[in-house]
Amino acid sequence: MARTPRVAIIHNIPISYKHLLFSELVRKGLDFEVLFLASGSKDRIEAPDLRCAPYRSRIGFQGGYEAIPHWHTASYVWRSLNEIQPSAVIISGWAGVGAWTARLWCMFHRRPSILWAESNQFDRPRVFWKELVKATFLRGFAAAQVYGTTNAEYLVELGFDSRKIWSKRAVADVKLFRPVEQVGPRDDSRKVILFVGRLAPEKNLEFVLEAVQRLPFEARHGLLLRFVGYGPLEVSLRLKAESLGLNDMVEFAGSRKHSELPEVYHSADVLLLPSTSEPWGLTVNEGMLCGLPAIVSECCGCARDLVNSGTGWSFNPRDSAGFARILEKVAAMPLDDLRAMGKNVVALARSYSPENCARVVMECLSVVVLSAGETR
């Protein structure tokens, strides 16, 4: 008979990088079960195969996360926690019935809860009364675990005790994404600036095209923009590039499977993430693991932690002139200088491993569960 789980983790859907974390938590000996609210989402085309997962999990709804009835989620979470009877519950985020149901269950049963918080103050315009609701939700959490600096600052702004915040970092696949030993010659002498992600409004790609169109002749013809991904704006972005006369320097490469992304990163010289809203920006970690310096919007959660003068450039995603200056600088840089920057980024990116994240999760849980036991 399987052991009774001691920790429950509430999560929206199966996701590859959380799969890496959960698998590492098993290796570190944590006794837990993951309660996925749904099997997938309209925004995700790939998910890990849970049949091969080394950790216990269950799924509340076979279908898209966006389609779950609220009553179904509340019933599933409450019933599952009653069955598991965990010593502590990790709750991923605060948006949705699942998170609130789990928090109420913990209050009713006097079990400590830990929040996984991935939001930033600058993600979107904030409404006063909604911020008060979030502050109320945060009360009583024994601890919070965040990706990085801006996530922690937002929690403190909402009134959460900074002494209870642990930085677990985002998880990247350090085994899959690695730099190439030797960069071979390319037919095209232009520097490749790579975007990987959804072709969606928050990615700010129209801004990129408009800024590129205003570059001086020499800079424009020294760069190639490669967009890898899919999304609702693909047709309009193609039309925009054509209307601006950029067809010769903008390449729409389509979507790629996760396993194919290392080759995509290795084909580029610089990674670009220009979003106006991005809780973290995992493609920056992946690109850096492959040796790419990065151009990252200040509205990406990772910018403060990953981007400095030795690893890339950050910019205001509404400052077209400032962004264009960075592109001109990249166009003028010798490739050897870019590749030297690439060597700087790999060591930093490798610290975002599943092992390091799992270690922080385990340490935090030990403190929380021990403290809860002492107060009972």
- Per the listing, tokens 């400095």 go with 308
Residue 267 has pLDDT above 90, yes or no: yes
Burial class (CB in 10 A: 0-12, 13-18, 19+), 260: exposed
Q: Are residues 134 and 266 in the same domain?
A: no
Q: Indicate if 243 and 151 belong to the same structural domain.
A: no
Tell me the C-alpha distance between 120 and 307, whole Å.
17
> Could you tell me if residue 181 is inside a domain?
no
Domain presence at residue 177: no
Q: Tell me, yes or no, whether 178 lies in a domain.
A: no
Tell me, yes or no, whether 38 and 107 share the same domain: yes
159 and 11 together in one domain: yes
Claim to verify: residue 228 and residue 358 sit in the same structural domain = no
Segments forming the whole domain that contains residue 113: 7-171+353-375
Residues 224 and 322 in one domain: yes
pLDDT tens by residue, 34-89? 999 999 887 766 778 898 899 999 999 999 888 899 999 999 999 999 999 999 99
3-class SS of residue 199 = coil
How big is the CA angle at 296 (ends 138 and 320), to the nearest 5 degrees? 115
Are 53 and 81 in contact by the 8 Å Cβ rule? The answer is: no
Residue 221 lies in a domain: yes
- Please indicate, yes or no, whether residues 196 and 270 belong to a single structural domain of this protein: yes
Residue 344's domain is classified under what CATH number? 3.40.50.2000
Q: What is the pLDDT of residue 14?
A: 94
Query: Based on the domain organization, do 227 and 345 belong to the same domain?
Result: yes
Q: Over the stretch 334-346, which tens digit does the pLDDT of each residue have?
A: 999 998 998 889 9
- 231 in a domain, yes or no? yes
Asked whether residue 320 is assigned to any structural domain, the reply reads yes
Q: The pTM is what?
A: 0.92
For residues 344 and 199, membership in a common domain is answered with yes
| Inter-CA distances, 99 with 114, 187, 273, Å | 11, 52, 29
Domain contains 25: yes
pLDDT at 5 over 70: no
Answer yes or no: do 27 and 121 share one domain: yes
**Mean of pLDDT values over 203-212:** 97
Average pLDDT over residues 353-361: 97
Residue 310 CB coordination number (10 Å):
12
149 and 44 together in one domain: yes
Q: pLDDT tens digits for 118-132?
A: 999 998 889 999 999
114: left (phi over 0), alpha (psi -120 to 50) or beta: beta
**195 in the same domain as 161:** no
| Number of domains observed in the structure of the chain | 2
What percent of the chain shows pLDDT beyond 90?
84
- Residue 2: pLDDT band by 50, 70, 90 thresholds? very low
- Would residue 1 count as lying in a domain? no
Q: What pLDDT score does 376 carry?
A: 52
Predicted confidence (pLDDT) at residue 306 exceeds the cutoff of 90: yes
Predicted local confidence at residue 370, as pLDDT: 81
